[in-house]
Structure 1
Amino acid sequence: MQTPDLGGFDLDAFITATLAEDLGGVADAARDLTATACLKPDARLSAVLAARGAVVVAGLFLADRFFRALDPACTVKALVADGDHVAPGTALLRVEGNARALLAAERSALNSLQHLTGIATLTRDYVDAMAGTGAILLDTRKTLPGLRQLEKYAVRMGGGTNHRMGLHDAPMVKDNHIAAAGGVTEAVSACKAAGLSNITVEVDRLDQIEAAIAAGADRLLLDNMAPETLRAAVALVAGRVPTEASGGVNLDTIAAIAATGVTHVSVGRITQSAPAADIGMDYED
């Protein structure tokens, strides 16, 4: 199964560390006390991973890698593709191989698949809720430590768009930067002097917009503004720079926020608070 581009994420190290966490410090199926006691060394297992509810799938390649890590000779077949929206009861993946190894890898495979599928599913809910507004859904840096590349991959599978991957790839001047630098003009000027471009500046009041644009902002982050204030902000900006609404966004509010004319809406909840999808692994005769 093909592994997607994860931007340099060390997938081998992740697989090994996750299995070792569940198996007492080493990725060895023999450390699974129950499977080792109950099953003969050559026992075979065939199973399917199936969705219990309607989901948008993400992370099938992770399940494949977990199973193969403990049984390199196992056969794994994806029955759907990442990004597919599937109905309850849909079989996602079939695996066959050494029973001890597959059962030792089961929880690690499911945890990862459930987490990424949960993010993709919630992302799709937000994308659907803002459909027709013309605004683009962005993710944020509100991700679980160490899992950002995986979680942002899941956002893409759900139809969202990745914002900056970290502090290293795009400048964003926020309120604390402005306070510490002595003002928005000083902060933006310092960024430009450092050779930075595509500078986003955070504003939370209408009277900050002209100062931010005059300072050289390439984009405005409109923080925690109500829809009526966002409409006024968009009118003041008048298309001079792209705008991004952030803060207070949930499934009940995103349609109204996106309809104000902002270019983007960023939502931390899609990675920070997505519930795990209900996916199980079931024995097949």
Structure 2
Amino acid sequence: MFNYLAPDYVQAFIQAALAEDIGNGDHTSLSTVPADANGTAQLLVKDRGILAGVELSLAIFKEVDASLQVQVFIHDGTWIEPGQIVLEVTGSSQSILKAERLVLNCMQRMSGIATYTRSLVNILEGTRAKLLDTRKTTPNFRLAEKWACKIGGAVNHRYGLFDMILIKDNHVDFAGGIQAALEKAFTYNASLPTPLSIEIEVRNEDELDQVLAIGGVQRIMLDNFSPERLRAAIRKIDGRFVTEASGGINEKTLRAYGETGVDYISVGALTHQVKSLDLSLKAK
């Protein structure tokens, strides 16, 4: 899988976010805070949940001003409560103010995602099923959202369109059916310097039978199957392929799907229906 947490990729994400926010300068801080002023600020918890984004915040502070000193008290993946102090940053007051909003925007949303993700992971406890995230992410913020899902205990699915062949319903329809789509994918994949994993989505038992007859894929996604139909499909697959369930699965139905014996369950709501956690950065 693509290493989206590689330092150069993280740095590029931060640089783009800072450019969006700062433009040609933080004129408020430049006009009100002396250039040589130093200060200390604390990141305070005002909500309950799973903390995420601490490591990213360290990279943000470093990118803004490598001379900033950061002391971390609570690490990613930890349950937090109101009144706790996550970290303390000391150095140029202008630099702290420049980093403040990006740090908070990332950590608040990441912590909300990690909290919801952990709650679903807990529902699946005791089953073989692992929770998967999706590509239903905020444009240009996927790195942070995928990272938050990982901190919350989910397994990252493909990062983008480039690191896996995932044949979904529209691909099947545009290609002319299951067989045509798979044949084209096999031919294309064989032409690549490094072949990719292939997953195909099936919408019903007939499409599943076609995939089982053809083979050649690594994973089958069973879309919008009820738990009962999913259980029967998994018996038919009989361990020959990795299985994934998807389609409108939420916290109310998740356990029933997990108990079918499916390998993975993908939930788009991990990243597109989440409430951010309340955090703040205050001068000490």
TM-score by length of 2: 0.88
- Counterpart for residue 106 of structure 1: 100
- Counterpart for residue 125 of structure 2: 131
Residue 215 (structure 2) pairs with residue 220 (structure 1): no
CA distance in 1, matches of 2:205, 2:41: 58
Contact kept? 2:106, 2:144, Cα under 8 Å: no
Q: Which moved more, 1:63-72 or 1:98-107?
A: 63-72
CA offsets 1:70-122 (integer angstroms, 9 cap, x no match): 44322111112222222333211111122232123211111111122222222
- Counterpart for residue 252 of structure 1: 252
Residue 178 (structure 2) pairs with residue 179 (structure 1): no
- Counterpart for residue 58 of structure 1: 52
How far is the alpha carbon of 1:9 from its aligned partner?
5.5
Structure 1 alignment gaps of length 5 or more: none
- Counterpart for residue 86 of structure 1: 80
AA in 2 matched with 1:218 = Q
AA in 2 matched with 1:261 = G
Contact kept? 2:48, 2:82, Cα under 8 Å: yes
Alignment CA distance shift 1:149-1:9 (3 Å):
farther
CA distance in 2, matches of 1:96, 1:234: 55
How far is the alpha carbon of 1:218 from its aligned partner?
3.0
Secondary structure of 1:10's aligned partner: helix
Contact kept? 2:163, 2:196, Cα under 8 Å: no
Structure 2 alignment gaps of length 5 or more: none
CA distance in 2, matches of 1:184, 1:211: 7
Q: Which moved more, 1:108-117 or 1:50-59?
A: 50-59
AA in 2 matched with 1:154 = A
TM-score by length of 1: 0.88
CA offsets 1:145-192 (integer angstroms, 9 cap, x no match): 222233222211111111112222211222222222222112112222
CA distance in 1, matches of 2:172, 2:4: 36
Secondary structure of 2:128's aligned partner: coil
- Counterpart for residue 272 of structure 1: 272
- Counterpart for residue 32 of structure 1: 27
CA distance in 2, matches of 1:69, 1:174: 39
AA in 1 matched with 2:78 = D
CA offsets 1:121-151 (integer angstroms, 9 cap, x no match): 2211110111111101111111222222332
RMSD: 2.2
1:115 corresponds to which of 86, 109, 118:
109
Contact kept? 1:7, 1:149, Cα under 8 Å: no
CA distance in 2, matches of 1:189, 1:197: 15
Q: Which moved more, 1:202-211 or 1:192-201?
A: 192-201
